[in-house]
Amino acid sequence: MNKEELLKKYEETFNEKAKDVFFSPGRINVIGEHTDYNGGHVFPAAISLGVYGVYGPREDKKVRLYSGNVDGEIVEFDIDDTTAEKDEDRFWANYFKGMITYLREKYNGIDHGFNLYIEANLPSGSGLSSSAAIEMLMGIILKDEFNLDVDRIALAKMGQRTENEFVGLNSGIMDQFACIMGKKDSAIFLDCNTLKYEYMPLALGDYEIIIMATNKPHTLADSAYNDRVAECGRALKKLQQKLDIKALGELDNDTFDEYSYLINDETEIKRVRHAVSENQRTLRATQAMKDGDLEKLGRLINASHESLHYDYEVTGKELDTLAEASWKQPGVLGARMIGGGFGGSAIAIVKKSEAENFKKNVGKIYRDTIGYDASFYDAEIVDGTKRI
Ligand code: GAF
């Protein structure tokens, strides 16, 4: 998206010139799904699809937000207003309100409001983290414009808290961490228990990552997501009767197997089996990446999808169709759903020379099976949220 055009759109919306333009990326996740809130590992990367924000300060205390993607009105509130929006038309303001609230709670200096024009080249509900991208956009804008001495990881934590308390999604920290800590051409190997992280070059040689959006119109993903978090929480409590652990991410497959009798519930056993095996797969996958064993990485990615399908039950027909169609194509190392699931997106690691064929074939199978088109994106891996 072009900076000049964005500045013009701000001017048309607010009848004045803007001060600065920012970009906040969405994310993919190579492997490690539904492990973050279980204290496990994840391996995400920031992508060139994301959200732009055009900022201009105001003298009063009003925040005026306009989204170029929604054919709606300017949403307005006061910086002192810390109540979560319930109204459907204004709900998206919560991503901003949460960040403003938590930053003002801890840091002095945010003493006036602003106008903000936002526009995404990332479809919302695509499982590529448009909400975390928005939260981190707000965080970096406020940090930069008001010279706040807040570090990026603290902003990621505030973004997670915004999801939990303003939006009502009991998510982990992966998305915010990936958006704000992203590094060009690298994925982030993050331990969500300790927040220790390591950048690893996404060295895929002749292969590339293709993003496939299901375009599934409406999902009840948030309540199903919160159910999964609750099921894991209940199972953890039962395991803690005999095991000294703080999170499921501390278990290996063998220990889980030995103590699984404590859970005594079929659904919860499946959920924990996924959380534990996915964490172990993530450790093995990052080792395979270090060893340059891309075939093994691909197999682990496929196994991740199957575990999300059978044990975590968050895939659904659309994501299964994309993954299974991908596995059958020539030059594919691996494919799986990413993000919360139920709809959203999948990724495939595909030989560059096969990429066009791949999109054509998988696109056709998807249309024939589901009845509408999937979208395919070749995104670059980029740096985290920043002024542009
Ligand atoms: C969503 C959540 F926001 C993340 O925290 C993470 O749990 C992911 O689903 C599943 O891995 O994107």
Of 355, 357, 318, 361, the closest CA to residue 337 belongs to 318
User: What pLDDT score does 318 carry?
Assistant: 97
Q: Is residue 175 annotated as a catalytic residue, yes or no? A: yes
Catalytic residue among 175, 244, 254, 265: 175
User: What pLDDT score does 122 carry?
Assistant: 87
User: What pLDDT score does 218 carry?
Assistant: 66
Phi, psi of 72 (to 5 degrees): -125, -160
Q: Is the CB of 174 under 6 A from ligand 1?
A: yes
Atom of ligand 1 nearest to the CA of 35: 11
User: What pLDDT score does 219 carry?
Assistant: 66
Ligand 1 centre distance from Cα of residue 278 (Å):
13
Stated pTM of the model: 0.96
Q: Is the CB of 135 under 6 A from ligand 1?
A: no
Ligand 1 centre distance from Cα of residue 130 (Å):
12
User: What pLDDT score does 123 carry?
Assistant: 78
Question: Consecutive 10-residue runs of the chain (388 residues): their mean pLDDT?
Answer: 94 97 98 98 98 97 94 92 91 96 96 97 87 97 97 98 96 98 98 97 94 85 92 98 97 97 97 98 97 97 98 97 98 97 96 98 98 94 97
User: What pLDDT score does 220 carry?
Assistant: 61
User: What pLDDT score does 1 carry?
Assistant: 78
Of 351, 352, 348, the closest CA to residue 335 belongs to 348
Ligand 1 centre distance from Cα of residue 166 (Å):
16
Q: Is the dihedral of CA 195, 46, 137, 23 positive or negative?
A: positive
Q: Is the CB of 36 under 6 A from ligand 1?
A: yes
User: What pLDDT score does 71 carry?
Assistant: 75
Ligand 1 centre distance from Cα of residue 340 (Å):
5
User: What pLDDT score does 217 carry?
Assistant: 83
Burial of 111 (0-12, 13-18, 19+ CB in 10 A): exposed
Residue 41, marked binder: no
Residue 231, marked binder: no
Contact 307, 332 (CB under 8 A): no
Q: Which structural domains are found in the chain, ordered by start? A: 3-202 (3.30.230.10), 207-378 (3.30.70.890)
Q: Is the CB of 77 under 6 A from ligand 1?
A: no
